Amino acid sequence: MVALCPLRGLALKLRPRLPALLGLAACALAASDLAAQQAPSDSLQDAIRGGRLQLELRPRYTQISDTDKPEVTRAWTMRSIVGWQSATWDGWRAVVEGVHTDVVGASRLNTDPARDEDSPYPLLPDPARTDTNRLYVEYRGLPDTRVRLGKQPIRLDNERFFSDVDFRQIPMLFTGLSVTSNSLSDAEVYAALLNRVRTVVGTQAKARIWLLRFAYSPAPDHSVAAYAYGLNQPQPGLYPYSDWYTPFSDNSHQVFGLRAEGLVPTRARFSWLYTAEAAHQRHYAGGDPLIDANYWRLGGGAVWTDLAGLGVRLDREVKSSNAGRYGFQMPFEDSYAFNGWALQFTSTPAGGLRDTWASVRAQPGRLQLVAEIHRFGAAAGGLDYGNERDLRVAYALTPSLGLKLQHARFRAGDPVAAYYDVTKTWLSLTYDY
């Protein structure tokens, strides 16, 4: 009932804006259809006219309760992304997008991390913003290679270290130069130099980041990767109103890691799954000397492809601690894909983090079902941080329209750990053109 009742409220709140929104969408779709009819040409003008529309609309209802806050957050937010991707001309292509996010209707809530301690409402980090989104040019004139310059998303491997955090209404984007090459057989090389970050709360920060990754597929359905990156910037500059990362004045660091994952078929009706990863993080370019910690993950399971893709897994992940003074940090990760959806561990506690979780997923037809159970604790000191249960149900109404219901229930452990019971529910409708 919590998820279904808000639909009527959204319709009432959007009613005054519907004519403008529908008019904009109609014009954009007509322009895209006209562009699709253009014959390919070698001219820059025809490359622009022969491009295609980028359009995404995502209204979402969110409800958050937190035992540390006297009020409950209930709000509709909206993400609108409109852009244009040109056709390829002499190996070049451009993407230009704008994004607008807003709170729909009158709502009592807090979207500002700077007010989190004082606000009676649990934080909903989806503020109203209007900004450019993806904004880059890329060159594909070299064999099996893409060179991209500008404001772009970065999603590496399972997005544990670099992601656009697409769950949030404002995606995290990076400005700089990246190169992806598949010219080596069964391998991919990725390199990037970045100088700016747009965070999920819309703040902008200068940054100096280098990133290298080499991935190799030794056999079908198996991959290994080696990666490294360096961040030369005090992390508080990314979220200037929050000390969520560490209390250090300079959080510059570098990471080196290895990752392997794959699928092993059997003669039975299922295949084995495995994931193994390890990384080391240390201070770099003037970062605090206490930045020194390790990360590892080991997990596996099975998948039955002929049973609606039914899959079960058991995983364990540890972000270690430097003697209780620093925990392994991942500032550019997909926060909602790991360590529970209730978002209690956007930064790693100084005592580190242990996460043991079981997950089940299936996809019968257009329906997608995911369930996870987590147990959290300190990597050093033995504190019980708590447990969490997550559930997601998604349904593809059409190839371009999807409905998704998500629920997260975190229950705190040892009181000295200073976590609180949190329950979050999201209902999203996403249209992509």
* Residue 280: band (very low, low, confident or very high) from pLDDT cuts 50, 70, 90: very high
| CA distance linking residue 379 with residue 305, whole number of Å | 36
Q: What is the mean pLDDT of the chain?
A: 89
Q: What is the pLDDT of residues 369-384, one digit of tens each?
A: 999 999 999 999 889 9
CA 417 to chain centre: 27
What share of the chain has pLDDT > 90, as a percent?
78
Answer yes or no: is 1 within a domain.
no
What residue type is assigned to position 190 of the chain? Y
Q: Give 12's pLDDT tier (boundaries 50, 70, 90).
A: very low
Rounded distance, CA 350 to CA 333, Å? 18
Q: Give the count of domains, the chain.
A: 1
Q: Average pLDDT of 388-397?
A: 98
Q: Which domain holds residue 265?
A: 6-432
State yes or no: pLDDT of 34 exceeds 50: no
Read off the pLDDT band of 38 (50, 70, 90): very low
For residue 329, the model assigns a pLDDT of 94
Least confident of 44-58, 115-129, 294-308, 343-357: 44-58
In the numeric block, which tokens belong to residue 172? 């995290």
Min mean pLDDT across 48-52, 244-248, 334-338, 391-395 is at: 244-248
Query: How many C-beta atoms surround the C-beta of residue 27 within 10 A?
Result: 10
Residue 425 pLDDT greater than 80, yes or no:
yes
Could you report the per-residue pLDDT of 227-264, keeping only the tens digit for each? Answer: 999 999 765 556 544 445 677 888 899 999 999 999 99
User: Mean pLDDT, to the nearest integer, of 138-152?
Assistant: 96
Tens digit of pLDDT for each residue in 293-329? Answer: 999 999 999 999 999 999 999 999 999 999 999 999 9
Assess if residue 96 is contained within a domain.
Answer: yes
Give the pair of three-digit tokens for residue 373: 């159970």
Q: What is the pLDDT of residues 166-209, one digit of tens each?
A: 999 999 999 999 999 999 999 999 999 999 999 999 998 888 99
In this structure, what token pair is assigned to residue 122? 């649990």
Place of tokens 């890329």: 138
> Residue 245: what pLDDT?
61
- Long-range interactions of 233-236: CB distance < 8 A, separation 24+: 233/205, 233/206, 233/207, 233/208, 233/209, 235/329, 235/331
How far apart, in whole angstroms, are the C-alpha atoms of residue 160 and residue 375?
19
Taking the mean position of all CA atoms in its chain, how far away is CA 101? 17
Q: pLDDT at residue 163 above 60?
A: yes
Look at residue 46 in the predicted model and tell me its pLDDT: 81
410 lies in a domain? yes
pLDDT at 113: 85
DSSP 327: B
pTM of the model: 0.88
Question: What is the per-residue pLDDT for 35?
Answer: 44
Q: What is the mean pLDDT of residues 66-84?
A: 96
Determine the pLDDT at residue 2: 41
What CATH number corresponds to the domain at position 367?
2.40.160.10
- Report which of 61, 65, 53 is spatially closest to residue 79, judged by C-alpha positions: 61
User: Average pLDDT of 105-115?
Assistant: 85
Q: Is residue 25 part of a domain?
A: yes
Q: How far apart (Å, rounded) are the C-alpha atoms in residues 76 and 59?
A: 7
The answer for residues whose C-beta is within 8 angstroms of residue 307's C-beta and 6 or more apart is 269, 362
pLDDT of residue 11: 46
Instruction: Supply the pLDDT for residue 381.
Output: 86
In-domain check, residue 150:
yes
Q: Which residue has the higher pLDDT, 134 or 27?
A: 134
Residue 45's pLDDT is 80
